[in-house]
Amino acid sequence: MAAGLAVMVVAALASLFMAWAIGAGSSGSTPFAPAVGANAITVMRAGFVVGILGFAGAVLQGANVSEAVGRELVVGATLSPVAATTALIIAATLVAVGVFTGYPIATAFTVTGAVVGTGLAMGGAPAWAKYQEIAALWVLVPFVGGGIAYATARGLRTFDRDAVAVPVLGAVVGAIVANIQFVFLGPPGVSWSLARAVAATVGASVLLVQGAVTLAVAAATAAVLYWDVAGDPYRGQRHFLLALGGLVAFSAGGSQVGLAVGPLLPLVGGDVPLAYVLVGGGAGLLAGSWTGAPRMIKAIAQDYSSLGPRRSIAALIPSFAIAQTAVFFGIPVSFNEIIVSAIVGSGYAASTGGGVSRRKMVFTVLAWVASLALALAVSYAGFLAVSAVT
């Protein structure tokens, strides 16, 4: 009994360490990196704000990815306390190495590899259907995110009409916001979007009301941005850029907290409400953002591409959309992959290539691939070794 409790405590501490590493790395550094690169906000202030918004996202949107990481990556086996602890320690160590060396290790790659490795070592079977979903998203992210960022940046650069282009982009973002799901809008245990909640309240056709609410929010967002940009184009761009950074930070919390607390869910079962687990994970993200994120914010904002306000806006819009897609389907995804791909795509929209560091990108991609393979192999062997000893 005492030994089991000790392992549970170690697993919880490993989860907090993982949450800290993620907060210091992907969720804490990537959301506001484009805004910092465009000199719209300072590094320290970005770390402070992203920590608060990431905590909110973790509590309000973290359930889907947490369930996927904890229960859907391996078939026929439930992670034991030893397995969860092994997976979390190995994954967190790899992410922490990336934080301190300045290379953004893909957290989703490491955690997924670690959980799958320990699960297979326990005798579980691969969850091929889930792997196909995950692989499809991971492969598409650089092309979809980078492509949309490139096209958006080229459009802003070509037309150079912020009084029209920025409000239109704002309308797109507003439409997405109207359909983001929150746990507090739906009935117990169900997440609803603002559009869906209004439809339920009105009692009319769900699709009709959802469409009307979506259009209303999009139009309101566009009108506010049009007024702001018309008064001062630079101020309007800066406000839009900071709002996008906040939305991406919120989305990062909703996605990344699952990587830290997901392996704990099979351990706590129904004894501990999921909301409490998410609060603990969100606190870990908050601590990581406040203490370790500035280093990675600087690395992503300055080392990958030299961004102005327009290219930063172009990078954050697809990042926000992809992040919310991953949260909706419960797919673990790396924010480093999302943001870096979008930054590179928007950077290439400049006539000079936007200062994109090809050497840095090659090392980053290699680090992503190596982190997945290394986490899988080390976790598999590590669990077998620990099991043999204990």
For 207-223, write each residue's pLDDT tens digit: 788 889 999 999 999 99
Q: How would you class 132 by CB atoms within 10 Å of its CB: exposed for 0-12, middle for 13-18, buried for 19 or more?
A: exposed
- Comparing C-alpha atoms, which of 227, 274, 279 is closest to residue 253? 279
pLDDT category of residue 166 using cuts at 50, 70 and 90: confident
Using left for φ > 0, alpha for ψ between -120 and 50, and beta otherwise, residue 205 falls in beta
CA–CA separation, 31 and 54 (whole Å): 10
For 1-51, write each residue's pLDDT tens digit: 555 677 777 778 888 888 887 887 666 566 776 677 667 777 778 778 888
- pLDDT: is 136 or 289 the higher one? 136
DSSP β-bridge partners for residue 75: 125
Query: Cβ distance 193 to 178 under 8 Å?
Result: yes
CA–CA separation, 3 and 14 (whole Å): 16
- Comparing C-alpha atoms, which of 62, 92, 158, 203 is closest to residue 351? 158
CA 31 to chain centre: 8
pLDDT category of residue 62 using cuts at 50, 70 and 90: confident
What is the enclosing helix (H) or strand (E) of 193? strand 192-193
Token pair listed for 243? 């709002």
Residue 270 has what pLDDT? 65
CA–CA separation, 112 and 92 (whole Å): 12
Residue 29 has what pLDDT? 61
Q: Is the per-residue pLDDT at 103 higher than 80? A: no
Residue 116 has what pLDDT? 93
Q: What is the dihedral of CA 161, 164, 168, 169, to 10 degrees?
A: 30
- Strand segments, DSSP code E, in 140-183 are 181-182
Sorted by sequence, the CB contacts under 8 Å of residue 301 that are 6+ apart come out as: 33, 34, 36, 37, 43, 307
Q: Is the per-residue pLDDT at 299 higher than 70? A: no
CA–CA separation, 153 and 361 (whole Å): 20
Residue 366 has what pLDDT? 79
Running DSSP on this structure, what letter comes out for residue 1?
A: -
What Rg, from alpha-carbon coordinates, does the chain have? 21
CA–CA separation, 7 and 12 (whole Å): 9
Query: Cβ distance 334 to 140 under 8 Å?
Result: no
Q: Please give the angle made by the CA atoms of 76, 82 and 84, to the nearest 5 degrees.
A: 65
First CA to last CA distance, the chain: 14
For 233-292, write each residue's pLDDT tens digit: 888 888 898 898 889 889 988 888 888 888 888 877 667 788 888 998 899 888 888 887
Ordered by start, the domain boundaries in the chain are 2-389
Q: Is the per-residue pLDDT at 354 higher than 60? A: no
CA–CA separation, 61 and 87 (whole Å): 23
Q: What is the dihedral of CA 178, 182, 185, 188, to 10 degrees?
A: 150
- Comparing C-alpha atoms, which of 163, 18, 151 is closest to residue 93? 18
DSSP β-bridge partners for residue 155: none
Residue 377 has what pLDDT? 92
Residue 161 has what pLDDT? 63
Sorted by sequence, the CB contacts under 8 Å of residue 2 that are 6+ apart come out as: none
- Looking only at the bridges linking them, the beta strands covering 181-182 and 192-193 are antiparallel
Residue 275 has what pLDDT? 83
**pTM, entire model:** 0.84
